[in-house]
Amino acid sequence: MTASHDQRPPESAYLNCIRCGLCLAVCPIYREYLTETASPRGRVALARKGLEGELVLSPNLFEQMYACFDCLACNEICPVGIRPADLALALRATQEAMHPARWKRPLFRGLIPHPGRLELATLPLRLYERLGLRRLAYALGLRRLLPARLRDLEAMLPCLPQRPLRQHIPEVVTPAALGFAGPDPTADEHAARENPAAGRRVGFFLGCAQNVLFAEESAAAVRVLARNGCTVITPAAVRCCGMPARGYGDVAAARDQARFNIALFEQAAVEVVVTDCATCGSTLREYGELLRDDPAWAARAAAFSRKVRDVSEFLVSLPLRKPTGRLDGRVTYHDPCHLRRGQGVWREPRHLLQLIDGLEFVELPEADWCCGSAGSQLITHYETSLRVLARKMENVAVTGAQIIASGCPGCQMQLNVGVRRHGLAIQVTHPIVLLDRAYEGS
């Protein structure tokens, strides 16, 4: 069976591969298995053979596409512009067009795009934390009775909030409402003119995981933005950025979510859209590309994507108040793939960490290598995910850090697994939380 024309990647996506092998050197999966099918070059060859009819587009071929972590390292290094990670996503969409999976529609259209339903679905996890059941399970060693995979899935969970953030954060937060002053009066006037973002209406994109699992982190981001003179608008009706659906081949669902979010932030009349989730930010910045062939939405989507900023990127563009509080400890930083490569943001989070007195920043070896999360790989490709994570944790241990900071909920959850599996006394958090603590300690 051949792919439908609408879902067929163009020849330019695979035809010009020169098989130089540079992508092999940066692929975390190839590094673990050293087999051609586990490499970006191998996936490009399989895609070409399948799309040109020399191979059957079989479940096994598509499985090679789902094995890709989409860490974007191969996209970045290819000397002729082949983007193997994007091609793997495109082949997933091809499979979905050929053989729609029944389980995807209720998940990516019925559950994830609807914040209220997602909050209800994750209620048992919050009760597990808030009723003390989790603490009891750890104290009695009950986790040891679980199969290894279930233990690791439990270890992914952060300290869960009592309520999703969407249920209690004001939709509009002004500096005055939190008792903060306006833009820093001691900031250099020229710097303030050159960085007019201070005092703007800032839209805050509250991602799904941040809302239900990492509420305190996003609350910290809003406080830090307000403390630095921003009026922050957090639309309560915001939907998933669309990456889960897109990652599993349901591009139509991702486009529907994009259209909804674009219209929502247009109504909010914000000048910039800030997010504290690397994956959300990377996806929001691709709305223009995602809707480029939609005449009614192409220009609106492109305009929206131009407004998107990671929270660290936006803060560094401001005349930022230096926190006067002190946090003692050694911190290292793991680069989320979709922040460093997807958005080109990597200096900014380090800069924020180095603003905090008392924190000793130490660079993490291979900081920009994937941690093995890729959203759901610990669930779908368990052994591979753990093998990639093990190398990450070896590098973390070398730093002697007490804190690992990272700007992606998926990475943080994966690092939580690594910390527990390797018995490390290390806190995993978002850089914005540390900055917020330093401000609160002022």
The pLDDT profile of the chain, 442 residues, written as one tens digit per residue, is: 334 445 788 888 899 999 999 999 999 999 999 999 999 999 999 999 999 999 999 999 999 999 999 999 999 999 999 999 999 999 999 999 999 999 999 999 999 999 999 999 999 999 999 999 999 999 999 988 999 999 999 999 999 999 999 999 999 999 998 888 655 544 444 444 444 545 689 999 999 999 999 999 999 999 999 999 999 999 999 999 999 999 999 999 999 999 999 999 999 999 999 999 999 999 999 999 999 999 999 999 999 999 999 999 999 999 999 999 999 999 999 999 999 999 999 999 999 999 999 999 999 999 999 999 999 999 999 999 999 999 999 999 999 999 999 999 999 999 999 999 999 999 999 999 999 999 998 5
Query: For the CA atoms of 166, 170, 174, 176, what is the dihedral angle to 10 degrees?
Result: -130
Assign domain 326-440 to a CATH class: alpha beta
Question: Which residue is it, tokens 């691709």?
Answer: 286
Question: Which residue is it, tokens 């130089």?
Answer: 20
pLDDT at residue 442, as a whole number:
59
* Closest CA relative to residue 342, chosen from 63, 91, 89: 89
Does the model's pTM come out above 0.85? yes
Whether 208 contacts 376, CB under 8 Å: no
pLDDT at residue 191, as a whole number:
44
Q: Please give the backbone phi and psi of residue 331, each rounded to the nearest 5 degrees, phi first.
A: -125, 145
What distance in Å separates the CA atoms of residue 279 and residue 18, rounded to the nearest whole number? 30
Q: Please give the backbone phi and psi of residue 428, each rounded to the nearest 5 degrees, phi first.
A: -105, 130
What distance in Å separates the CA atoms of residue 387 and residue 28, rounded to the nearest whole number? 9
Residue boundaries of the structural domains of the chain: 5-98, 165-317, 326-440
What distance in Å separates the CA atoms of residue 10 and residue 436, rounded to the nearest whole number? 46
* Closest CA relative to residue 396, chosen from 410, 377, 417, 374: 417
What distance in Å separates the CA atoms of residue 285 and residue 313, rounded to the nearest whole number? 14
Question: 167-185 b/e with 16+ CB inside 10 Å = b?
Answer: eebeeebebeeeebeebbe
Residues 6+ apart with CB under 8 A from 430: 214, 217, 220, 221, 276, 405, 406, 407, 412
Query: Which superfamily, per CATH, for 5-98?
Result: Alpha-helical ferredoxin (1.10.1060.10)
- Which residues partner with 309 through β-bridges? 274
The H or E element that residue 433 is part of is helix 431-440
165-317 fold: Glutathione S-transferase Yfyf (Class Pi); Chain A, domain 2 (1.20.1050)
pLDDT at residue 177, as a whole number:
85
Per DSSP, which regions of 194-303 are E strands?
201-205, 231-233, 272-275
pLDDT at residue 182, as a whole number:
54
pLDDT at residue 12, as a whole number:
84
β-sheet with 231-233: strand ranges across: 172-173, 231-233, 201-205, 272-275, 308-310
